C-alpha cells in the first residue's frame, strides 16, 4: 500500500507493480498529483504547484523503465527563450535556449565570462552526470554505499565540501550573473553559503539541457503517470485519508481510514514524512522526535496567486523572474532571520504565452509565486498586502493596469499547504539542500522500528523537486524488493 498520489507515491507504486506487487494508492485529496494538482475556473486551467520542467532525461528514463516514452503520454516543447529575468526598470534579459546565444549574453554582461561559463558548465556537467545518474539513485542508508573507491573519487569531485557561494564567485563577478546562477538555490533550497557546490548541476540542467513545457500544463505529467500506473495494475482511491498506521510486534499490519481498516503487507508513505511518522504512528514506533524535526532546515514555503485575466499581457515570457529588489536580503529573510520579506523577489509564470488552451479566449493565465520562510502566519490581510506589492511591480514592468483585468483570483500559502498536504511548517519544497541534509544525513527512507514501513518524497532521499521525487519512488521500490522479496503469485 502507498499513501499519497504525488510524484513520489505514483513512481513508487508503479515501480512496485512492475515488480509483481499488488499495489493500492490511498490519496487524501480528490485527485492525484499532490502539490502538482490542477484546478479549473472561469475557463482557465491552473497548475497548482510545479511549473518548471527541467531534467527531461529523468522523465524519459522513468517511462523507459516500462517500455514507454514521454511522447506516449504528453507533448513536450522546449521554450525559447527559456525565461526572462527582470533586474529593474527597463532592464530585462531573456535567457536564450541555444548555448551560443547564452555565451554571447554572458559576455555582454561581463567581458571574459563566456570562456569561464564553458568551464563552469563543464564541471557542472560532470556533477550532473554523476549526481543524477548515480548518487541520487542510492538509498542513503549507509556509508558503505560509497565504499567503492571509484565512488569516493566521484564524491570528491562533486564539490560537496565547498559552498555554492564560493564556487560561483571563482567564475563570475557581475551581480547579474551571480543572480542568474544562484536563483535555483534560493527558490529550492537554502542560501548559497549553506549549499554545497554540487548543486551547480542545476545550472547545467538549466542552461545546457533547457526549460521545457508539456502542452496542456504540468499536470499532464501526472496524468501520464496515472495512466502508466493503471496499465501496471495499480489501484488508486481518492478521498481516502489515512488516519493511522497500525503496527503490531514491530510490523505494520495496515492503515485506518474513515472508511475502516485496510490491511497491507508493506506500506510506503508518500505523504509528508513528518506527518506520517509523528501523527500516523504511535510514539513507540517513531524513529525521530519533534526536536529532531524542529532542528531541520526547511526549504522555503510559497505565497501563490492564481490569476485569470480577460486580456493578454505584454512584455512577459512563459517564465519571468523579478530580481528587481535585493537578492541577498530576500535570502536572509527566508533562512537566517525568518520573516515576511520586506522587499520580496517573485516569479511569474504565464503558460498561456506558450499554450493558449490554459486560458479563456483572449485571456492570460498567470501564476505568481513569492518564496517565503516556512512556519509563518499568513492571514488574508498579509496575502492581500503582498498581492498589491508585487502587482505594483508587475504592472510597472508591463506598462499597464492588470488588476482591473483580473476575472479570477485565488491565493495559496502556508495554511493551505498544511490543510491539503499536512506539510510540515507549511513548507512547499521539503528539506533545504544543505551539506548537513545530504544523502545519509537526510531522514531515512526505511523505518528503523517498523520492519515493513518505508518513506518516499521530498523529505527523504534524494531531495526536493519533481525529478528527485520521481527518482525517490524508484529508489524506495528497489529497497522494498531487496528487503521484502518479490511477491509470490
Q: What is the pLDDT along the chain (489 residues), one digit of tens a residue?
A: 999 999 999 999 999 999 999 999 999 999 999 999 999 999 999 999 999 999 999 999 999 999 999 999 999 999 999 999 999 999 999 999 999 999 999 999 999 999 999 999 999 999 999 989 888 999 999 877 776 666 556 766 788 889 999 999 999 999 999 999 999 887 666 789 989 999 999 999 999 999 999 999 999 999 999 999 999 999 999 999 999 999 999 999 999 999 999 999 999 999 999 999 999 999 999 999 999 999 999 999 999 999 999 999 999 999 999 999 999 899 889 988 999 999 999 999 999 999 999 999 999 999 999 999 999 999 999 999 999 999 999 999 999 999 999 999 999 999 999 999 999 999 999 999 888 998 899 999 999 999 999 999 999 999 999 999 999 999 999 999 999 998 865
Domain end call among 204, 234, 263: 204
Asked whether residue 222 falls in the same domain as residue 200, the answer is no
Together in a domain, 197 and 253:
no
Q: Which domain, by its residues, includes 127?
A: 100-204
**Do 149 and 198 fall within a single domain?**
yes
Assess contact for 479 and 445: CB atoms under 8 A.
Answer: yes
Rounded CA separation 151/142 (Å): 14
CA count, 13 A, side-chain hemisphere, 207: 26
Answer for the pair 415, 266: CB distance below 8 angstroms, yes or no.
Answer: no
Long-range contacts of 479-483 (CB under 8 A, 24+ apart): 479/139, 479/141, 479/445, 479/446, 479/454, 480/16, 480/21, 480/266, 480/268, 480/454, 481/16, 481/19, 483/446
Domain boundary among the residues 204, 235, 266 is at: 204
What CATH number does residue 281 fall under? 3.50.50.60
Q: 114 and 29 share a domain?
A: no
**What cell numbers appear for 86 in the block?**
527582470
Phi, psi for residue 450 in degrees, rounded to 5: -120, 115
Domain assignment present for residue 313? The answer is: no
- Count of C-beta atoms within a 10 Å radius of residue 440: 15
Distance CA 435, CA 424 (A): 21
211 domain-assigned: no
pTM over 0.85: yes
Contacts of 294 by beta carbon, 8 Å cutoff, 6+ apart: none
The verdict on residue 394 lying in a domain is no
CA distances to 15, 365, 446, 447 from 477, rounded to whole Å, are 6, 37, 11, 14
Q: Are residues 54 and 140 in the same domain?
A: no
Residue 114 sits in the same domain as residue 61: no
Look at the chain and report how many structural domains it folds into: 2
Identify the domain boundary among 183, 204, 225.
204
Mark whether 188 and 232 lie in a shared domain: no
Residue 394, pLDDT score? 98
Report the alpha-carbon distance of residue 265 to residue 481 in Å, rounded. Answer: 13
Amino acid at each position: 500500500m502507498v499513501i499519497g498520489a504525488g510524484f513520489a507515491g505514483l513512481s513508487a507504486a508503479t515501480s512496485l507493480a512492475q515488480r509483481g506487487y499488488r499495489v493500492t494508492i490511498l490519496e487524501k485529496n480528490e485527485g492525484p498529483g499532490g502539490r502538482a494538482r490542477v484546478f479549473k475556473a472561469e475557463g482557465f486551467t491552473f497548475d497548482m504547484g510545479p511549473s518548471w520542467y527541467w531534467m527531461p532525461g529523468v522523465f524519459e528514463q522513468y517511462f523507459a523503465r516500462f517500455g514507454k516514452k514521454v511522447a506516449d503520454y504528453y507533448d513536450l516543447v522546449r521554450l525559447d527563450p527559456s525565461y526572462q529575468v527582470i533586474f529593474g526598470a527597463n532592464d530585462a534579459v531573456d535567457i536564450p535556449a541555444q548555448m551560443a546565444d547564452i555565451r554571447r549574453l554572458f559576455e555582454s554582461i561581463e567581458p571574459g565570462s563566456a570562456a569561464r561559463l564553458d568551464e563552469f558548465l563543464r564541471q557542472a556537467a560532470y556533477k550532473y552526470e554523476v549526481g543524477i545518474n548515480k548518487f541520487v539513485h542510492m538509498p542513503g542508508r549507509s556509508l558503505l554505499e560509497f565504499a567503492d573507491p571509484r565512488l569516493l573519487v566521484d564524491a570528491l569531485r562533486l564539490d560537496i565540501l565547498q559552498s555554492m557561494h564560493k564556487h560561483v564567485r571563482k567564475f563570475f563577478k557581475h551581480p547579474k550573473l551571480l543572480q542568474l546562477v544562484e536563483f535555483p538555490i534560493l527558490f529550492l533550497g537554502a542560501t548559497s553559503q549553506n549549499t554545497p557546490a554540487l548543486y551547480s548541476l542545476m545550472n547545467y540542467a538549466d542552461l545546457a539541457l533547457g526549460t521545457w513545457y508539456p502542452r496542456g500544463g504540468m499536470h499532464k505529467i501526472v496524468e501520464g503517470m496515472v495512466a502508466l500506473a493503471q496499465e501496471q495494475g495499480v489501484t488508486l482511491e481518492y478521498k481516502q485519508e489515512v488516519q493511522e498506521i497500525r503496527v503490531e510486534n514491530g510490523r505494520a499490519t495496515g492503515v485506518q481510514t474513515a472508511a475502516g481498516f485496510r490491511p497491507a503487507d508493506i506500506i510506503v508513505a508518500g505523504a509528508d514524512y513528518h506527518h506520517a511518522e509523528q501523527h500516523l504512528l504511535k510514539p513507540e514506533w517513531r524513529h525521530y522526535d519533534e526536536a529532531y524535526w524542529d532542528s531541520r532546515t526547511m526549504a522555503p514555503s510559497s505565497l501563490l496567486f492564481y490569476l485569470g485575466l480577460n486580456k493578454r499581457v505584454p512584455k512577459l515570457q512563459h517564465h519571468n523572474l523579478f530580481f528587481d529588489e535585493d537578492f541577498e536580503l530576500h535570502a536572509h529573510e527566508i533562512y537566517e532571520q525568518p520573516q515576511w520579506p520586506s522587499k520580496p523577489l517573485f516569479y511569474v509564470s504565464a503558460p498561456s504565452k506558450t499554450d493558449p488552451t490554459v486560458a479563456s479566449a483572449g485571456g492570460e493565465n498567470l501564476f505568481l509565486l513569492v518564496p517565503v520562510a516556512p512556519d509563518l502566519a499568513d492571514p488574508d490581510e498579509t496575502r492581500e498586502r503582498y498581492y498589491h506589492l508585487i502587482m505594483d511591480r508587475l504592472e510597472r514592468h508591463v506598462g499597464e493596469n492588470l488588476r482591473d483585468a483580473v476575472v479570477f483570483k485565488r491565493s495559496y500559502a502556508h495554511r493551505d499547504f498544511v490543510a491539503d498536504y499536512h506539510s510540515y511548517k507549511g513548507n512547499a519544497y521539503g528539506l533545504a539542500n544543505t551539506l548537513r541534509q545530504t544523502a545519509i544525513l537526510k531522514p531515512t527512507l526505511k523505518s528503523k522500528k517498523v520492519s515493513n514501513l518505508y518513506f518516499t518524497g521530498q523529505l527523504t532521499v534524494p531531495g526536493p523537486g519533481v525529478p528527485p521525487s520521481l527518482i525517490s519512488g524508484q529508489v524506495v521500490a528497489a529497497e522494498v524488493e531487496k528487503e521484502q522479496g518479490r511477491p509470490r503469485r
